[in-house]
């Protein structure tokens, strides 16, 4: 057969055979689990990977103590409280039932020790002692808790005490608790390390951390258990694998083992089928914009915060970025002023967007610069 005819035939055949494309593993639906409510989120991107009744209100039990500790950390950050400050244990704190650190009434205990009793041992006595020391009374402290909940956007949460002991008005949701957990880790990484401790000894009594996942999985580093008869067994967990942190919240399971098993199943699902990475760093030059009537003709645009994206495994390389920039930007421009949008697309669908902001200010130009730009725009 003529060589030319053979080559034409082979070319035509190649058009008929579809190109080989690397297969991307499908993502199955999240597992259906025996809990009243649960959520699985990526810490950096905030993407929700699994959910059940995440905005339905439930009793949070001792999960409440994450907020109690958060308020204490805020007081330390503001300089109004020191780790070595001495706290006098009240009769109310000492006699409160439930889990205990076993502090003694009338004795003084350092804030640092009480935080360990709260976080590791889940001691109601330590928790109330801290609340009374910061707020003057537990009721005032609960008001502080609600103020911080409001600032964090915890729209379906109301605290009436610092411990999570049952009260019909003391409620939260899986979504709100995940928001609080994320804020705790992001704002107080030094204090957060305490949530990974396996045990703590006070008054010659050693008590283990009730989070079973700390003993099963060395990638888990927190966060908090909770249990009452009315709330069931609850657990907030977080783990880091390959620089990807996930947070799970499980509310209302039947046992200590069940809450650990369900949390482990959620974390396993997230790590098996998703990946997360940083696409752009905060403050990095991403684009430029024309500024009219300004002291400078151009300014650089970027992001206020790091942009992380969570996608099904194998899909990160298929992401596309679309940048939209305002066309009529006039000076003065403030640093951080939104002037466009960054949209991250996957298979033609937007999965996340963030404002493009000015990375430096541009002052109003002098009369010559303003007049020149006015004339240019008139002719355009």
With tokens 């060589």, the residue in question is 3
Tokens of 292: 């009219």
Q: Is 255 a catalytic residue?
A: no
Alpha carbon distance 361, 358 (integer Å): 7
Instruction: For the chain, give the secondary structure using H, E and C.
Output: CCHHHHHHHHHHHHHHCCCCCCCCCCCCCCCCCCCCEEEEEECCCCCEEEEECCCCCECCHHHHHHHHHHHHHHHHHCCCCCCCCEEECCHHHHHCCCCCCCCCCCCEEEHHHHHHHHHCCCCHHHHHHHHHHHHCCHHHHHHHHHHHHHHCCCCCCECCCCCCCCCCCCEECHHHHHHHHHHHHHHCHHHHHHHHCCEEEECCEEEECCCCHHHHCCCEEEEEEEEECCCEEEEEEEEEECCEEEEEEEEEECCHHHHHHHHHHHHHHHHHHEEEEEEECCCCCCEEEECECECCCEEEEECCCCEEEEEECCCHHHEEEEEEECCCCECCECCCCEEEEEEEEECCEEEEEEEEEECCCECECCHHHHHHHHHHHHHC
Q: Tell me the sheet residues that pair with 227.
A: 233
Q: Is 74 a catalytic residue?
A: no
Q: Which position among 37, 45, 52, 62 bears the catalytic label?
A: 62
Q: Which position among 37, 45, 65, 162 bears the catalytic label?
A: 65
Alpha carbon distance 49, 35 (integer Å): 16
Whether 128 and 88 have beta carbons less than 8 Å apart is answered as no
Q: Which position among 45, 90, 122, 276 bears the catalytic label?
A: 122
Question: So which residues are the catalytic ones?
Answer: 62, 65, 122
């Amino acid at each position: 057969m003529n060589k030319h005819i053979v080559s034409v035939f082979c070319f035509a055949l190649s058009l008929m055979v579809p190109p080989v494309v690397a297969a991307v593993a499908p993502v199955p639906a999240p597992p259906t689990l025996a809990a009243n409510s649960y959520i699985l989120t990526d810490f950096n991107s905030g993407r929700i990977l699994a959910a059940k009744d995440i905005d339905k209100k439930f009793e949070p039990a001792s999960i409440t103590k994450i907020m109690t500790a958060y308020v204490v950390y805020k007081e330390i950050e503001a300089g109004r409280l020191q780790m070595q400050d001495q706290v006098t244990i009240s009769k109310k704190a000492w006699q409160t039932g439930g889990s205990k650190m076993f502090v003694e009434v009338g004795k003084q205990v350092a804030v640092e020790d009480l935080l360990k009793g709260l976080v590791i041992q889940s001691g109601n006595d330590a928790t109330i002692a801290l609340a009374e020391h910061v707020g003057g009374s537990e009721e005032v402290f609960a008001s502080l808790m609600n103020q911080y909940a409001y600032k964090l956007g915890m729209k379906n949460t109301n605290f009436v005490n610092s411990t999570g002991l049952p009260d019909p008005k003391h409620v939260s949701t899986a979504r709100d608790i995940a928001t609080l957990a994320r804020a705790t880790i992001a704002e107080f990484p030094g204090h957060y390390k305490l949530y990974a401790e396996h045990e703590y000894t006070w008054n010659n009594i050693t008590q283990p951390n009730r989070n079973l996942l700390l003993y099963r999985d060395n990638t888990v580093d927190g966060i908090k258990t909770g249990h009452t008869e009315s709330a069931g067994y609850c657990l907030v967990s977080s783990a880091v694998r390959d620089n990807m942190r996930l947070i799970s919240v499980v509310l209302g399971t039947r046992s200590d083992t069940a809450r650990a098993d369900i949390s482990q199943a959620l974390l396993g699902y997230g790590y098996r089928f998703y990946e997360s990475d940083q696409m752009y760093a905060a403050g990095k030059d991403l684009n430029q914009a024309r500024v009219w009537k300004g002291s400078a003709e151009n300014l650089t645009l970027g992001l206020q915060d790091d942009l992380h994206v969570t996608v099904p495994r194998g899909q990160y390389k298929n992401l596309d970025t679309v940048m939209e920039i305002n066309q009529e930007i006039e000076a003065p421009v403030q640093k951080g002023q939104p002037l466009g949008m960054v949209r991250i697309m996957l298979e033609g669908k937007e999965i996340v967007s963030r404002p493009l902001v000015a990375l430096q200010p541009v002052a109003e130009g002098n009369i010559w610069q303003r007049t020149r730009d006015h004339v240019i725009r008139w002719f355009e």
